[in-house]
Amino acid sequence: MTAMFKKIANTYAAAKTAATSFLAFLLRRKDSHCEHQFKRHLCYLTGDIFSCLLAPDYQDNLYLYERRVHKEKINCLYWLAELRNYRGIEDESEWLTLLLDAGQLRRRVTDHTIFGLCSDELMDIEAALIAIIPYLGTINSVEPLAFLTASLDSFDDSFEHVIKVSAREPLVFILFLGALRAFRDAAAIHNED
């Protein structure tokens, strides 16, 4: 009788171990799904923010553009909350905060025609951000970090020679560059971990 109980106990322990490892597998998979969705919507948010800066009809269709940004911000916050349920860390919220801080440029500038002077640099920054977001928190983000750094240096050069002279509020571009450099530095710090 005791041999039968030992066999049942061993079978129960094996089933419990298998169920625990399967549950851990499902949680890792859900964690990976949440991270993927968060990064996907962060890319969409980046595109929407930069479309506000680059679209010539932004002032005429303010509600349309701001609604897109708002919807993607809500999606990012939803997936960030889901991600926190599985991880309990807050690295990703820093990236979202810095991106939204950089996105305030669209509200801080009164004359949106100034973006026409630096549209090529803004498109390069947008492309660099969209290229780096999928690699945030991984080791493989060295090349996109270099692309983002080169894009920011190009925008800084344009700022020094053109925008600083032409813009009514040159200080807001310094804040924009500061937020994007902080984003780059946060991505680089998480890349080293």
In the chain, domain spans: 9-192
pLDDT score recorded for residue 188: 80
- Averaged pLDDT, groups of 10, the chain, 193 residues long: 59 52 49 87 96 93 95 94 76 88 94 92 95 81 85 94 89 95 84 54
pLDDT score recorded for residue 22: 42
Q: What angle do CA 119, 146, 170 make, to 5 degrees?
A: 40
Residues 92 and 97: their CA atoms lie apart, in Å, by 9
Identify whether the C-beta of residue 137 lies closer than 8 Å to the C-beta of residue 188: no
- The pTM (predicted TM-score) of the whole model is 0.81
**By C-alpha distance, which of 40, 164, 53 is closest to 105?**
53
* Six token digits for residue 6: 């030992």
Q: At what angle do helices 2-54 and 62-87 cross, to 10 degrees?
A: 160
Buried b (16+ CB within 10 A) or exposed e, 95-104: bbebbebbbe
Sign of CA dihedral 34, 39, 78, 44: negative
Residues 9 and 20: their CA atoms lie apart, in Å, by 16
pLDDT score recorded for residue 35: 87
pLDDT score recorded for residue 26: 42
pLDDT score recorded for residue 24: 46
pLDDT score recorded for residue 90: 63
* Six token digits for residue 165: 């002279």
* Six token digits for residue 5: 């109980």
Helices and strands in the chain, H and E counts: 8, 0
| Separation of CA 133 from chain center | 5
- Span 9-192 CATH architecture: Up-down Bundle (1.20)
pLDDT score recorded for residue 25: 45
pLDDT score recorded for residue 19: 45
